[in-house]
Structure 1
Amino acid sequence: MEDNTSGEIAGTKMNKKGDSANASYYHIVNPSTNIAVVGAEMTHSFFTNVTTITVGTQHALDPLTTIKARANNAGKASALIQHEWRPKSLFTISGEMDTKSIHKSPKVGLALALKP
């Protein structure tokens, strides 16, 4: 991973089995609001010869609440809203849908992570 002072992070990696490679880029536009307009990832599987490109964004509504969204070239779109209601305790609502298979029901999830 490479990190510099302009708020850009780029990296590449290969999984342990060597059957897929991953490249990613993340650009923080405004550190005070934690907005990342460009977050992109490309994964290539050598076994299936399939490449997936995912683009995402996030925005801090306030210091305790973050929204995130992403979509990929396979038609999957997802979003979440996460709120830290106590220190290190998070409540998350998320959803995902396959835009290429409208007949499939979207997935919705709730999560509660508690830290003492």
Structure 2
Amino acid sequence: MSFTQSDLQQFTGTATWWRLPTGLLLTDGAKYVAENGGAWIIDLIESHQLNPKVKAEEMQFWTIRKHDDNTATATCTEGGKDGGEPVALTSQKILYTDLPVKEIRLYRVNDGEHVVLMLSTEY
């Protein structure tokens, strides 16, 4: 796995939509993460769509935080509707990761026609 926070910051939009066999669309930034050792992050996010509470949210805010002991925590919130505090929808402990950054944030957006996964900088 090889990318830096600076690498991720370069993605501020997308030129191409990349469709996975599941129908999920990835932006250029999400595809970059997947191709550079982070495909497991996309798998993790999509596996949580089996949770009805998560799947019901049209806009999901995902944060993967790496800890000093190489564990991590993946958390999904609904972003804080109506200006309130974000409500956690689900969380998962990751027992080991070689994630090269301390934190990565992605948004999963379902507009009713398309489901898109993007880096937070691409929104």
TM-score (structure 1 length as normaliser): 0.30
Q: Greater relative contact order (Cα 8 A, min sep 6): structure 1 or 2? A: 2
Report which of the two structures shows the higher radius of gyration computed on alpha carbons. 1
Query: Which structure shows the higher strand fraction?
Result: 1
Query: Which structure shows the higher helix fraction?
Result: 2
